[in-house]
Amino acid sequence: MTVIPFDEYDEERHVIEADQVGGPADAPDRRATFADVVSRTDSRRPIVPAVLRNQEGRRALARWSVGYGGHTALYHLTRTPKYAAKVALYAPRGAARAVGSVTWWAVGGRENFHLRQEAANKNDPHTWQQLDKRRERSSAARWWVVGAALVALVLLLAAVELAGMPPVGWYCVAVALVLVAARHGRPVDKPIVDRTVTKAPFTKLTAEQVRAAIVAMSIGVKEPGQLTFPPPGVHADGPGWLARFNLPGAIVATTVLEKRDNLAAALRLPVDQVWPEVGPDHPGQVDLWVGRYPASKMGQPRWALTSPTARTSFFEPQPFGTDARQRPIYITLFESNVLIGGQPGSGKSYAARDLADIALLDPTVEMKIAEFKGTGDFLDMAPLCSTYACGVDDEALSTGRDVLTWALAECERRGQRIKRARERGDAPLGKVTPELAAKPGSGLHPVFILLDEVHELFLAYPDAAEAAERVAKRGRALGIFLALATQIADRDSVPPNITRCVTVRWCLSVGGQVENDMILGTGAYKRGLSATVYRPRVDAGWGVVTGIEKPGSVRSFFPSDKENAAIIARAAQLRGKVVGEDVERVEARDMLADARAVLQPGESGLPWAVLAERLAAGWPEMYAGITPDMVRESLARYGVDSQDVKVGRRNIKGARRASLDAAQQRREIEAE
């Protein structure tokens, strides 16, 4: 506010207050207050290293130490004669060197040595004499020092002898002296002991490489200096290096992710050695992890489930694969469904197997496995499954459908149980809890349903696809886990609705962008989630997973046959008997005949909703939960059109008697 003196007051006068121009936009720095300090959330580094904090880690460390130490000891032990010969050769040399260097020091040989040599070269005796006098002066007292040291040594030895040193002690001293002499006498580049391990050569990432590569990618970075590396800079992280850097300006990290091929080319490395990610701080930050070796050559750490004491839980995160940095990736079976897609040879069955192993090692989980490849990939698990089907014949396919029908009915039953539990206060969130699931007789134990090569089932029974979709939607909270594995996830073989309902999608090696996006969702390829880089067979098991904590590349574990057998044996031991009961094999019903049967005499047709209701009432074991749309689609296959049916005064879409009869006739003719 501007104060105007009274005598300057004037009606005509306008005071325009200037906007404040300039000045700092940023708040000034101030000293940290106590409140600032106590509210800091800096993460404190753990006092006990992570590896020592759990039993598994301690055991692994001990195992490694014993193995490494044992190998080193045996290796050196077998080479003792060679070492002895070397010591015999080098020890005299070392002793001579020691004596020589002491003498040289005592006579002051190094004092103005080169000046004296120069004088001698030029035959200048006067200068030489002056220099020599200087040498003599500066080294005059040194012989006394050497003499005193020798006397002290002799006295010390005498004292030790008088104190009662056993002969063994003297031998030890002698051996030590000889070893020291040999160490002193060996050439610098010839160690006495050999190396016990050969380390493979590896690639080290430097900031310079990263800068050059990013500039070469031409994504808008012109100068190498534009990239900044927040602390701690490029550093070792697992079996490789992590470079966290900020891109300049408004360039986002996804531009780098999209051009992973170009980045790998610029770094002159194979694509599977270069793993860019979006950094944690802002969208313009890149976490570039470069392995020491290509991921396909690095092997895989041991799977925790192969441990002889392994026991999993349906409700807790379990490792099912590793990422490029060899860190385990976890999945919680509860509240998720998995869709696994990939071309033949991409490792689908093994990926599905990993999930099945997780479920097997939780003894409360009921297993239902149907695989429509017919090669018996899960045959060893069959004795532990309440339902197991294998093959592409009608029997297997109808069993697959029965499983889904059962699951749907089970959802219905479980929904009511949960409701009652909620009323009692046992299920506060309207979900199955671990306590409820573990309670015998609650009927809420977890169910694991795996359908391998599921497109076979969906092509044979389109209503199974709808059932699967509904199970995926409803079963999540009710403890029913659904895993679908398929080669092709296109519109015809796996309906898009299923793909949408599934929470975790795992795309193994696929041929192109279209297949990739069919499994991972539209736009996944563009966002850098692409499984097209993996080669079938060579990179089997590698894939991109979305729907877990951090979407990205995951390699499924690949237990050996022996480990597989051990897991199955352990699961059998944990379970004792098969959990759950086999599904009721419903005889396949003829919907057309049933539809005609429910039609009351005198009715010219029925709306879809009424038809669905009557079917469900008539044969609940088969048609429980059937929807009007499902009836319409099923009957459409027989050529029953959706026509107007008069109900009271209104016209509602439904099936007419004439149309049903015509369809029946057509079928009879075709059958003949």
Give contact residues for other proteins (rule: CB under 8 A). 109, 116-117, 120-121, 123, 125-126, 128-129, 132
Minimum CB distance to other proteins smaller for 113 or for 171: 113
* Shortest distance (Å) from residue 132 CB to other proteins: 8
From the CB of 102, what's the least distance to other proteins, in Å? 16
CA–CA gap between residue 37 and residue 41 (Å, rounded): 9
d(CA 296, CA 542) in angstroms, rounded, equals 9
Question: Which is nearer to other proteins, 130 or 307 (by Cβ)?
Answer: 130
Q: How far is the CB of 61 from other proteins (least distance, A)?
A: 57
Phi, psi for residue 494 in degrees, rounded to 5: -130, 110
Closest separation between CB of residue 125 and other proteins, Å? 4
Report the C-alpha gap between 113 and 132 in whole angstroms.
Answer: 9
In the complex with other proteins, which residue's Cβ is closer, 132 or 335? 132
Other Cβ atoms within 10 Å of 625 Cβ, number: 17
Q: Measure the CA–CA gap between 290 and 203, rounded to whole angstroms.
A: 8
Q: How far is the CB of 89 from other proteins (least distance, A)?
A: 21
CB 263, min distance to other proteins, A: 54
Q: How far apart are CA 406 and CA 390, in angstroms?
A: 18
Question: What is the token pair recorded at 522?
Answer: 């539209």
Count of C-beta atoms within a 10 Å radius of residue 408: 20
| Neighbouring C-beta atoms of residue 498, cutoff 10 Å | 24
- Phi/psi at 388 (5° precision): -140, 130
Beta carbon nearer to other proteins, 69 or 125: 125
Using CA atoms, how far apart are residues 452 and 339, in angstroms rounded to an integer? Answer: 10
Closer to other proteins by CB, 100 or 147: give it: 100
The pair of three-digit structure tokens given for residue 326, joined into one six-digit string: 């060899």
Please report how close the Cβ of residue 133 comes to other proteins at its closest, in angstroms: 12
How far separated are the first and last CA of the chain, in Å rounded?
102
| CB nearer to other proteins: pick between 100 and 191 | 100
Diameter of the chain measured on Cα atoms:
144
Tell me the one-letter amino acid at 454. V
Taking the complex as a whole, the smallest distance from the CB of residue 119 to other proteins amounts, in Å, to: 9
Buried b (16+ CB within 10 A) or exposed e, 576-613: eebbbeebeeeeeeebbebbeebbeeeeebbbbbbbbb
657-671 vs 591-598: helix crossing angle, rounded to 10: 140
Residue type at position 98: A
> Helix/strand/coil (H, E, C) string of 281-331?
CCCCEEEEEEECCCHHHCCCCCCHHHCCCCCCCCCCCEEEEECCCCCEEEE
In the complex, minimum distance from the CB of residue 138 to other proteins, in angstroms, rounded to a whole number: 16
Rounded Cα–Cα distance for residues 338 and 504 (Å): 5
Whose CA is closest to 509, among 564, 444, 554?
Answer: 554
DSSP per-residue codes, 609-668: HHHHHHHHHH-HHHHTT--HHHHHHHHHTTT---EEEEETTEEEEEEEHHHHHHHHHHHH
Nearer to other proteins, 104 or 171 (CB): 104
Task: Tell me the C-alpha to C-alpha distance, in Å, between residue 297 and each of 200, 291, 440, 533.
Answer: 12, 10, 47, 16
CB of 123 to other proteins, least distance (A): 5
Least distance to other proteins, CB of residue 109, Å: 7
Q: Which is nearer to other proteins, 125 or 639 (CB)?
A: 125
Query: Smallest distance, Å, CB 142 to other proteins?
Result: 16
64/143 with CB nearer other proteins: 143
Between 75 and 128, whose beta carbon lies closer to other proteins?
Answer: 128
3-class SS string, 602-622: CCCEEEHHHHHHHHHHHCHHH
Q: Smallest distance, Å, CB 122 to other proteins?
A: 8
Helix axes 167-185, 80-106, angle to 10 degrees: 80
Judged by beta carbon, residue 139 or residue 326, the one nearer other proteins is 139
Taking the complex as a whole, the smallest distance from the CB of residue 213 to other proteins amounts, in Å, to 49
Query: 132 or 426, CB closer to other proteins?
Result: 132
Write down the least CB distance from residue 108 to other proteins, Å: 11
* Closest to other proteins by CB, 20 or 121: 121
Residue 204 tokens read as 């080290």
Q: Chain centroid to CA 157: how far?
A: 63
Residue closer to other proteins, measured from CB, 124 or 161: 124
Distance of alpha carbon 227 from alpha carbon 98, whole angstroms: 54
137 vs 302, beta carbon nearer other proteins: 137
